[in-house]
Every structure is written in C-alpha cells, then in structure tokens.
Amino acid sequence: MTHFSPAACVDYFFNYFLMKGVLVTIGLTAAGVVGGLILGMGIALMRMSSNPVLGGFARFYIWFFRGTPLLIQLVVIYSGLPQLGIKFGVITCALVGLTLNEAAYLAEIVRSGFMAVSAGQREAAWALSLPRWVTFRRITLPQAFRLMIPPLGNSINSLLKATSLASVISVEEIMRRSDMLMQEHFQILEVYAAATAYYLILTSVWDVVQRRLERHFSRSTATRSPRAAARAPSPQVGLEVNA
Amino acid sequence: MTTDIDGDGGTHPGMHEAPAVRMEAVYKYYGEFTALNEIDLRVERGEKIVICGPSGSGKSTLIRCINHIEKHDQGLIYVNGVELDDQRKNIDAIRRDTGMVFQSFNLFPHMTTLENCILAPMTVNGMAKQEAKDIAMHFLTKVRIPDQASKFPGQLSGGQQQRVAIARALCLQPKIMLFDEPTSALDPEMVKEVLETMKKLAEEGMTMLCVTHEMGFAREVADRIVFMNEGKILEQAAPEDFFNRPTSERAKTFLDQIIR
C-alpha cells in the first residue's frame, strides 16, 4: 500500500522550523569556508615553507584531517573531548570540526593554485626588482586565486552537503530538523523530500554563483577571438587609458 | 662604496667608469653538470654583445646570472661596479639597473599593457601614478604600440606582447638590457618588428647583451659576438671576424649549420 501526500510535502517545504534550519546550514557553510580558507592558507604557507618543523606539521595536519571521516571528527570533538576536560557548545563544536576539516582540503587547493602560477611570472617580477610583498600581492596571488576558483567552488559544494553530518551532534540544521519533524507524524518521504529540495536549491544557487565568479575573473585574461585575429590590426585614434 | 675594479690600489680617471658587466672566473653547477665553466667576460657601457652557440651551451644561464635570476656558484660578477653577492641591497640595485626580456614574454596576464608598465616605477621608484603613466606611454610609443595600452596581453599578438615586454623593462630606465632569445617564440613575420625595436634601442646607445639565433641581427647590430659551447666561451670577436674567420672548430661547424 503506497501513500504519499504531495500537499504535506509542500507544507513541510514552507515549514518555518525547517526554513530556520536552512539558515543554520547556510551559516555553518559560510563559517566553514571563511574559517577553512584562513586556516587553510596558513597551513598551505607552512607546507610550502622551507622550515622542516612548519612543513612537517602542515603535512601531518593535512594527512590526519583528510584521512579520517568528518563524522568521527565531529563526534570526537563533541562527545570525546569532554573526557579531557575540553567542552564546547554544540554550534562551536560543529564550527571547529567543519573548519579544521575544510582547512585540510583547502590547504591543498591553495598550494596547487600557487604552484600553478608559472615560474616566468616570478622571474619577470625579480627582473623588475619588485619587492617581495608586491610580487606576492599583485602578481602571484591574483593569478593563483583565479586558478583556485573551480576546485574551491567544488569544495564549497561539498561543504554545503557535509553540514548535514552536524545533525549527529544535534546541531539543528536541515537534516536534524527534518528528523525532528519526521518524528511528529512519521511522514518520512514527505519531510525528506522537502529537505532534499532545499539542498538542491542551495547547491544549485552556489553553482550559478561559482560560474559567475569564474567568468568574472577570467574576463581579464581573455584571449583574442579567432575573428579578431583574422582582421588586420588598425591603429586606434584616441587612447583609452583606464589603468 | 667605490670598488677598486682595476686592482691597482689607486684612484684614476677611469675608476668610476666601471664596465657595464664584468664576470671573473664564474662557474655555475646544476648538481654534477657544469653549466658555466670559468666564464670571463667584460662588457663596456654602450656595447652591444650577442651571445650565440649551440643549445645547452650556457648562453641563457650566463645572462640570467647577471641579474641574479640564477645564482652563480663561484667567481665574481660586477654590474656597473656593484658586486653581485648575496646582499639583498646589491641584488636589488643591480636589478633596478638591468632590464630583462624573456623568450616567453612573461607579461602579467591579469593586468593591462599600461598596468604592466607602471607597476615597477610606482612600487620600486615610488613614482606617482600619473608620472608613471606618462613614462609608460612614452616607451609604449617608442615601441610603437601606444594604442594597445588598455588591452590585456591575451588580446595581443606575440610580436606585440614582446614589444610590451621591452617597454615594461625600459620603464625603469635601466642602464643595461638583457635579452634571452627574445624572438625564438615568435612567427617569422613578428620577429622583424621586435628586431627593429631592438635595433632602435641599440642605435640610441643602450648597453645590450642578447642571446639570439638571429645572425642577421647580430651582424648588423653587435659590437662583439661571444660564442659559447658546453659552458665555456670559445671565441669573442667582432661580427666581421667571427662570421668570416672563425677560429675554433666548433664555431665553424656552428656557422656552417646556420648560414646555408
């Protein structure tokens, strides 16, 4: 016997309790990205440094947090650390767990972005006697950032979905609130269909934003179109100088 | 700090007229491989040197050691009287006075032509933006592409990009220009426009060291040809003498292959 109530599904979709959970999911994702990026950059710099202590620590960090499931990390932070006297609030636990985990992946993305900027760029900067911080901020970083956008975008997509694991430590985001709603009337498929719809909306919106970002940042490295190359170049009267 | 470049312990009229480049017993190793083998070279101000030789002879390594893009392992290098040691201030001073043009242009792709040119004068010499723009436009006009000022490198042809690269190097008003195979990555048609630009620079008295395979250019412009092979300088001679009466066997073989 099958029964599914599309009306109930729609009701759950517009349920305020669930919608507040969506906000929590978004908040967790945003915090995870920002925290993960800051920490990840730090780890990446350590990884790329010639100092063996820093490099070793960075390599260990990345190995550990990429080598264990996010779920275990969250559970240990929430339920295990109190045994050592370290106790955080629920949301803090989630933020710490997500940030530490995300940083490990972002560190590798940041590092590969920097390594992909061609050596010739650095050599040109040296030949121009540009100060080191100018080379980093004006030459290397902008180019590395452009290269990082696709894998970074992919990472954010993953993080949006990974926040659902915080439900296990009772953070009231989409998944947890769906569980709670489900236990009221046991309309399992209806509740989770609504939750699924929200995840799809969030990831799809992010996809659009990511594509916009990619396009925006690649516009300045645009190459000539084949048609433009075929046309003979003609000198333009009147200079537009908008540097 | 005055360096006693002649080693005679005294002062004399020519003391502050240091040669543009002076390399003494310079060696460079990559592991077991000797890239530069006892290089002795002296370039006077205003001289135009063309360095040529077979692949792997160390030509690029030699000029890349002059502005410390590569670090030499043994020997002494002086640029305009300043010793190229490990001191940051010496390295920076030398790099300010030498401009380099690369085979792969190495323009900054996320900046316009003009932005590429004004970055160094503004950050190295602390120049104001408008003044830097004026200087940049002066040199862009000199290399005959002022109309491409607001284009991005990706929108320019190879020949245009290389001319922008030359203008960019000139914006710091260096005393020496180093060219590392500037036309090797260009279509034959574009080679001409870049060589014309370099010729103009030469005529105006710039000290130039140029690694190139363009023997026509070498004949016309060079004061001296430096022929290298396997990390050593085998011959140095005026173009007339080098092309018509090469003294080393290796040079003869090399020239046979180049000039049909």
SS3 string, B70-130, reads CCCCEEEEEECCEECCCCHHHHHHHHHHEEEECCCCCCCCCCCHHHHHHHHHHHHCCCCHH
* Contact at CB, A126 and B98, closer than 8 angstroms: no
Q: In the 8-state DSSP scheme, what is residue B209?
A: E
Q: Does A138 contact B119 at a Cβ distance shorter than 8 Å?
A: yes
Say if B22 is an interface residue toward chain A (CB within 8 Å): no
Of residues B112, B99, B186, the one with CA closest to residue B147: B112
Q: Do B147 and A236 touch (CB under 8 A)?
A: yes
Inform me whether the pLDDT recorded for A57 exceeds 50. Answer: yes
Its ipTM equals 0.89
Task: Phi first, then psi: give them for residue B74, nearest 5 degrees.
Answer: -140, 155
Q: b vs e for A76-97, b when ≥16 Cβ sit within 10 Å of the residue's Cβ? A: ebbeeeeeeeeeeeebebbbbb
Separation between Cα atoms, residue B259 and residue B214, nearest integer Å: 11
Read off the amino acid at residue B180. Answer: D
Distance CA A82, CA A89 (A): 11
Tokens of A132: 């080191």
A92-111 average pLDDT score:
95
End-to-end CA separation in angstroms for chain A: 70
Contact B50, B226 (CB under 8 A): yes
pLDDT in tens, B1-20: 444 545 555 444 444 578 99
How do residues B37-77 score in pLDDT, each as one tens digit?
Answer: 999 999 999 999 999 999 889 999 999 999 999 999 999 99
Over range A123-140, report the average pLDDT.
94
Chain A residues whose beta carbon lies within 8 Å of the beta carbon of residue B169? 127-128
Q: Which residues of A touch B168 (CB under 8 A)?
A: 128
The pLDDT, as a whole number, for residue B30 is: 94
Separation CA B241–CA B237 (nearest Å): 6
Q: What is the DSSP letter of B226?
A: E
Distance of CA A211 to the CA centre of its chain: 14
Q: Looking at residues A144-149, what average pLDDT do you find?
A: 92
Please write the tens of the pLDDT for every residue from B214-229: 999 999 999 999 999 9
Per-position DSSP letters for A33-48, written without gaps between them? HHHHHHHHHHHHHHHH
CB A18 within 8 A of CB A12: yes
Distance from the B176 Cα atom to the nearest Cα atom in chain A, whole angstroms: 12
Q: Using the Cα atoms of residue B113, residue B115, residue B121 and residue B127 in order, give the sign of their dihedral.
A: positive
Q: What b/e sequence results for B14-29 when a residue is b if at least 16 CB atoms lie within 10 Å of its CB, and e otherwise?
A: eeeebbbbbbeebebe
Q: Average pLDDT over chain B, rounded to whole?
A: 90
The two structure tokens encoding residue B63? 């000029």
The single residue listed with the structure tokens 């650095």 is A122
CB nearest to A124's CB, from B106, B112, B178: B106
DSSP character for A77? I
In the structure encoding, which two tokens stand for residue A137, read together?
Answer: 């901020």
pLDDT at B259 over 80: no
- Judge whether residue A205 has pLDDT over 60: yes
Q: Which of A117, A129, A149 best probes binding to B when mutated, by most B CB atoms within 10 angstroms?
A: A129
Interchain pair B118, A233: CB under 8 A: no
